[in-house]
Amino acid sequence: MNNYGFVRVAAATPALKVADCDYNTNEIIKIIAQAGQEHISAIVFPELCVTAYTCGDLFLQSLLLEEAHNSLARICEATKNSAVIAVVGLPVEVSNRLYNMAVVVGGGRILGAVPKTFMPNYNEFYEKRWFSSSEELKEKTTTLCNDQIPVGIDLIFKARDFSFAIEICEDLWTPIPPSSISCLNGAEVIFNLSAGNETTGKHIYRKSLVSQQSARCIAGYVYAAAGNGESTTDAIFSGSSLIAENGSILAEGERFSFDSKVTVADIDVERLKNDRLKNKSFSLSEYEVLKKIEYRKVSIDTNPAADALSLKRFVSPTPFVPANDSSLNDRCDEIFSIQVGGLAKRMLHTNIQKAVIGVSGGLDSTLALLVLVKTFDKLNIPHPNIIGITMPGFGTTDRTYTNAIKLMRSLGVTIKEIPIAEAVIQHFKDIEQDIDTHDITYENSQARERTQILMDYANKVNGLVIGTGDLSELALGWCTYNGDHMSMYAVNTGVPKTLVRTLVGWIADTHMDEASKAVLEDVIDTPVSPELLPADKDGKITQKTEDVVGPYILHDFFLYYILRFGFSPAKIYFLAKHAFAGGYTNEEILKWLKTFFRRFFSQQFKRSCLPDGPKVGSVNLSPRGDWRMPSDASVALWMKQLDTLKP
């Protein structure tokens, strides 16, 4: 069964009764059974969940300890015919010391136990009164339920699809949590059994801790805290459950519930591995002091789940675009500022006071022009020093031409109109090209004529030609080699098409007067087209890019997961089906995914000689930085896998 690197995990908050091991165990076993039905690979329960956390001095009663031991045997038996790995908390005695333990069970066996290291000893929590720290544990093994098992904080559990380690509650709140060292030694997911109480503002801080620790460790982090049923004599427990992956909260459970709750999410372990592979600081060799701890690996073999994974996590169809309104303004402002900052540096370095840009009335040239204007404002250069050249040709429509003129007027730049038809017709005569043959020569001759005009006019006025092409076009090779492919500084090369549209909309809303905003909104609504083929009889665009190469929203999705994580075509297809369910059919997704890979490999030669341009995000195609691929690499391996995929 191929789950494409995803592992389904859960954090459970069972309804409990203090010191009632039978009741608590029944709830735990019910939840484990439910987890099996939902194909959960591993589930973590709260700290000391078998007895409840708030037993106080009852932890020193032999009967409670004996019943906790018996309950563990029952829980172990409940996993005998299950694929679920369960991590439960209970007090465990080892060599006349009582430890707050996390015990891992699976396949009907006890697999290992991890003691808590850091003991809170303040306010209403006095754990040192009852429990010893892991630092006092000298033994490497102990006997539980008649089995000799490994015990210690130096355990990493190796399941079929992932490796995990454990820390308990307070461990996370320390300067160097044990999970930091565990992850450097190979753990990909951390399970935290907790019983942190609730106070005003604490949940926000706790959530931040979980998120940040998952980011520092490039790991999944599954946090389950005590909830309903714990004693409320001096503290309230909310049952906070959190699942994070590399800095992002994937799922959050309901707090203050009176019922048992299970929070479920799918962690992408392959994605984590890829990020660790790229991050050269993520290496134990960099931390000499930590090498002293020699970790032991515990192999886990449970019955495999019967069915393939049905993904339980949100996959954004637009991974380059900020996910919500609260972050949209900040993210767009930052991206726009990066573009402006890059161009400003180039203008200062060259000591040039003028810029030339081709303005078509399309999205890309619009964004590039807006970046130019903002840059000139930053450098106190007057807008007329920007020469916007519109170059109507055989396919130019009234809509795009009008928008180009209106936009340039509203921004106060110098407008220059240079029609290209006569020059291209003369060129056709020179190279013996039939003007009625609308082939690639017909199209590219126009693109190269426009680039020649821009370059020569820039020389005439001592200005820089500002490139307009975006990241998506570079990925697909949807640019004319030495045509729109070339410029003196390209401000959009780090911005994919879906983000270009978002940025133009954001600028319209936040930076423009009503007249300019109306123009930008019409630009956004205009179909994407190079306008190199004649318009129809009504003067409307006939050459729509997305009809030829496919929807940019799909291609940007493919690009993100290929470059950012190095995923296989099969996994990208799996993710795309989930992200675009109801929007595109499986047949459409697969068709355009094949198109993407064919074009991405065949068009590398264009990316190998790109002009300079600013990187704005985690994905970029500059041959000098993020993407160094030979121009003659074969796509056969990727197409072979694509041919095995079924709609």
> Given pLDDT bands bounded at 50, 70 and 90, which one contains residue 304?
low
Average pLDDT over residues 408-433: 96
DSSP state of 436: T
**The predicted structure's pLDDT at residue 591:** 97
At 385, is the pLDDT very low, low, confident or very high (cuts 50, 70, 90)?
very high
- pLDDT average, residue stretch 83-96: 96
Strand ranges inside 440-586, DSSP E: 464-467, 489-490
Q: Kindly state the percentage of the chain with pLDDT values over 90.
A: 81
Q: How far apart are CA 63 and CA 205, in angstroms?
A: 38
Query: What average pLDDT does range 474-495 have in this prediction?
Result: 96
pLDDT at 291 over 60: no
pLDDT tens-digit series, residues 246-259: 999 999 999 988 89
Evaluate if residue 177 carries a pLDDT over 90.
yes
256: left (phi over 0), alpha (psi -120 to 50) or beta: left
pTM equals: 0.87
DSSP class of residue 83 equals: S
265, containing H or E segment? strand 261-268
Q: Would you say residue 447 has pLDDT above 70? A: yes
What lies within 8 Å, CB to CB, of 50 at 6+ separation is: 21, 24, 25, 28, 68, 71, 72, 75, 88, 89, 90
Instruction: Read off the pLDDT band of 527 (50, 70, 90).
Output: confident
**pLDDT class of 205 with cuts at 50, 70, 90:** very high
pLDDT tens for each residue of 310-331:
888 999 999 999 877 678 888 9
- In this prediction, residue 289 has a pLDDT band, given cuts at 50, 70 and 90, of low
Give bridge partners of residue 404 from the DSSP assignment.
Answer: none
Banded model confidence at residue 232, pLDDT cuts 50, 70, 90: confident
Is the CB of residue 471 less than 8 Å from the CB of residue 614? no
Residue 609's CB: how many other CB atoms inside 10 A? Answer: 12
Average pLDDT over residues 402-415: 96
So what's the pLDDT on residue 322?
A: 82
Average pLDDT over residues 429-445: 95
Checking if the pLDDT of 293 tops 80, the result is: no
Confidence (pLDDT) at 2: 73
**What's the pLDDT score for residue 200?**
84
Helices 21-37 + 62-78 axis angle, to 10:
20
pLDDT of residue 497: 96
Q: How many CB atoms lie within 10 A of CB 215?
A: 15
Q: What integer pLDDT is reported at residue 292 of this predicted model?
A: 61
The single-letter code of the amino acid at 421 is: A
Residue 535 scores a pLDDT above 80 = no
Is there a contact between 114 and 140 (Cβ–Cβ < 8 Å)?
Answer: no
In the chain the domains, ranked by start, together with CATH numbers, are 9-299 (3.60.110.10), 325-642 (3.40.50.620)
Mean pLDDT of 65-81: 96
| Listed residue (496, 485, 446, 466) closest to 365, CA to CA | 466
Q: How confident is the model at residue 217 (pLDDT cuts 50, 70, 90)?
A: very high
Q: Tell me which of 78-87, 231-240, 351-360 is least confident.
A: 231-240
Q: Do residues 220 and 214 make contact, with C-beta atoms less than 8 angstroms apart? A: yes
The pLDDT > 70 percentage for the chain reads: 96
Q: Which regions of 147-201 does DSSP assign to beta strands (E)?
A: 147-150, 155-158, 163-168, 189-194
Residue 471 CA to its chain's centroid (Å): 18
Give the tokens for residue 560.
């993100």
**What's the average model confidence in pLDDT over 397-414?**
94
Looking at residue 547, what is its pLDDT?
85
What is the set of active-site residues? 47, 116, 169
- The average pLDDT across 224-239 equals 89
- Identify the burial level of 333 via C-beta atoms within 10 angstroms of its C-beta, where 0-12 means exposed, 13-18 middle and 19 or more buried: middle
